[in-house]
Amino acid sequence: MSVEISRLDPRSDAEEWNRYVERSDGTNPFYRAEALRLQGEDTGSTPHLLAGFTGQEAIGLFPVFEYRKGPITGAFSPAPFSWSCYLGPALLNADKLKQRKADRRTRRFLDGCLEYVERKISPLYTRFVVAEFDDVRPFIWREYDVKPGYTYVVDLSGEESDLLDRFSSDARSNVRNADDDAYDIAEGDGDDVERIVDQVAKRYESQGRAFQLNPAFARALYEQLPDGAVRPYVCRVDGAFVGGILVVESATTRYRWQGGVKPDADLDLPVNDLLDWHVMRDGLRTGIERYDLVGGGVPSINRYKAKFNPRLETYYEITSGSFGLDTMIDRYRKLR
């Protein structure tokens, strides 16, 4: 059973690529051709949309970004410092295969993709961030460094009351006791996308931390991806913006991509608890199965996320190459 790796173009082959994305259980909106093209433009990198085939059947996808600056050559998925959610490989049509055949096909697909990367890009440094893809053994066998990361995921199941009852007592109280007339939460527009990103940037700046997400990139995603793929949830008090969360939505999962930081105004209102509740409640109502809080490895914010009774899930950071080269690339990125 041979596997052929083909490179698709994010413009001319967008329709074909997106069909495969929609058929894979392990993808999110950042895999779509529009999002990959925008990531490449925003980071000065070249997207390689790798698809694996056995005959005419698509069996896997692996978007990889080639970054070149001076002596630096890197391969990334997602693009370097794009602040996108997880990418890496995703499989198609694997659920009906017996385990032995599935393992063999997965390894041949990944080996083919990695051989392409080594041959066509020849990176000095490689970094992939992989989730919803459990079999990372082929990376280990090819001597990549594989490090686990952690995220919290809330199961959106049962009745709304059941979901709320699973929260901690303070989260339940914050949601139930908030005065409905004191605030308004609704999905916003492109301007609100930029407001949310700007608010996050100010929060990072106040803490002396780097934040490189371009508000124009986030807005372009909102405008160019299908309706509902990026949802800006906004909380307003007396008509004024006080906080928001940018949600990325796949067929099964809502991702808490950006936002949910401490509000600028001093308010006697649990803004973020209410925002997260509305995101989860609306997802439950529309049949979404999971709410990924996108991160469970930072002690300072774990206490907040843990009060929604999530389960801990693993993703993987896969690297290879010169130690510290990612820092050099970060410096080039800042110069842009």
pLDDT at 117: 98
Instruction: Return d(Cα 97, Cα 74) in angstroms, integer.
Output: 34
Nearest Cα neighbor of 264 from 256, 255, 272, 273 is 272
Q: Does residue 132 sit in the same domain as residue 237?
A: no
pTM > 0.85: yes or no:
yes
* Residue 299 resides in a domain: no
Instruction: Return d(Cα 259, Cα 270) in angstroms, integer.
Output: 14
CATH of the domain at 13: 3.40.630.30
Instruction: Return d(Cα 151, Cα 123) in angstroms, integer.
Output: 28
Nearest Cα neighbor of 65 from 56, 75, 51 is 75
Q: Which residues pair with 151 in a beta bridge?
A: 313
Q: Does residue 137 sit in the same domain as residue 22?
A: yes
Q: Does residue 164 sit in the same domain as residue 119?
A: no
pLDDT at 323: 53
* Residue 47 resides in a domain: yes
> How does pLDDT run along the chain (336 residues), one tens digit per residue?
699 999 999 999 999 999 999 999 999 999 999 999 999 999 999 999 999 999 999 999 999 999 998 888 999 999 988 889 899 999 998 777 678 888 899 999 999 999 999 999 999 999 999 998 989 999 999 999 999 999 999 999 999 999 999 999 999 999 999 999 999 999 999 999 999 999 999 999 999 998 989 999 999 999 999 999 999 999 999 999 999 999 999 999 999 999 999 998 889 999 999 999 999 999 999 999 999 999 988 888 899 999 999 999 999 999 999 755 666 555 544 544
pLDDT at 327: 62
Instruction: Return d(Cα 311, Cα 154) in angstroms, integer.
Output: 6
Instruction: Return d(Cα 302, Cα 299) in angstroms, integer.
Output: 5
For residue 130, the SS3 value is strand
Q: Does residue 184 sit in the same domain as residue 94?
A: no
Q: Does residue 109 sit in the same domain as residue 27?
A: yes
Q: Does residue 144 sit in the same domain as residue 268?
A: no
- Domain span including residue 284: 157-288
Amino acid at 197: V
Burial class (CB in 10 A: 0-12, 13-18, 19+), 220: buried
Count structural domains, the chain.
2
Nearest Cα neighbor of 91 from 34, 30, 28, 23 is 23
**Terminal Cα distance for the chain, rounded:** 45
